Structure 1
Amino acid sequence: MLEVGFLLTPLFIIFLYISLKFIWGEEGKDERGIHISNISYKRSFPIFLIGWLIIELFHKYIQPLSLEIYRDSLWVVILVTCIIQGSVIVYYKRKV
């Protein structure tokens, strides 16, 4: 699981930069930017909840996870959530 985290980290950094630049910049403060931000939150937040639910159900019913694997799995879910949020912002900036 740690290897997946290492592979996702560069994408996470790129899309985190894109998200923060958009949200804190002038483009994210107008009506169109707020609309795009809200769409990105709506698309990315369920990813976190579903991922956490899958990890928790796997931990309870299939096989107990060690704290290290549980922590690494949650870290991957957080990385994927931020990557999805940044990619949604990039997509809707070009579309809307």
Structure 2
Amino acid sequence: MTVELFKGISFLVLVPFFLASLYVIFKFQWGSEGKDERGQMITNKSYIVASPILPIGWLIETVYNDFADSMPYEGYRTYIWVLILITFIVHGVAILYYKRKL
């Protein structure tokens, strides 16, 4: 898969979910629901779920780059950008999940 194709697909698929997740995250954290004790617990649990995605993804990319094939700079930038989008998407989904569960 070429870098341009990967970038185009990731933009079309991930950016709408990213924007929806940003809406959920900001609405929850800036609203009254995110300021009480239950809201802090939901925020902390969602951070626990989302925070390992970036370092694990970076590790996978580094191992791939060292042992399988070298990635061009543009591909590396796109890969990190996608990891950041996925991290925010998982954070937003985790907030929704824990809001209903707790």
Scaled by the length of structure 1, the TM-score of the pair is 0.95
Alignment of 1:5-16 (within 5 A): 5-6=10-11, 7-16=13-22
Q: Pick from 2, 8, 32: which aligns with 1:3?
A: 8
Shift of 1:26: 1.1
Retained in 2: the 8 A contact 1:4–1:76? no
Q: Pick from 25, 36, 52: which aligns with 2:31?
A: 25
Shift of 1:3: 2.6
Identical residues among aligned pairs (%): 46
Shift of 1:4: 3.3
Where do 5+ consecutive residues of structure 1 fail to align?
none
1:38-69 deviations in Å (ceiling 9; x for gaps): 00000000111111111111112111111100
Q: Tell me which residue corresponds to 2:75.
A: 69
Helix, strand or coil for the counterpart of 2:51? helix
Scaled by the length of structure 2, the TM-score of the pair is 0.90
Cα root mean square deviation, aligned: 0.9
Structure 1 CA distance for aligned equivalents of residues 20 and 47 of structure 2: 17
Structure 1 CA distance for aligned equivalents of residues 69 and 9 of structure 2: 20
Which one-letter code corresponds to 1:66 in the other structure?
P
Which one-letter code corresponds to 2:84 in the other structure?
I
Structure 2 CA distance for aligned equivalents of residues 58 and 3 of structure 1: 22
Helix, strand or coil for the counterpart of 1:63? coil
Aligned residue pairs: how many? 96
Q: Pick from 64, 80, 96: which aligns with 2:86?
A: 80
Q: Tell me which residue corresponds to 1:50.
A: 56
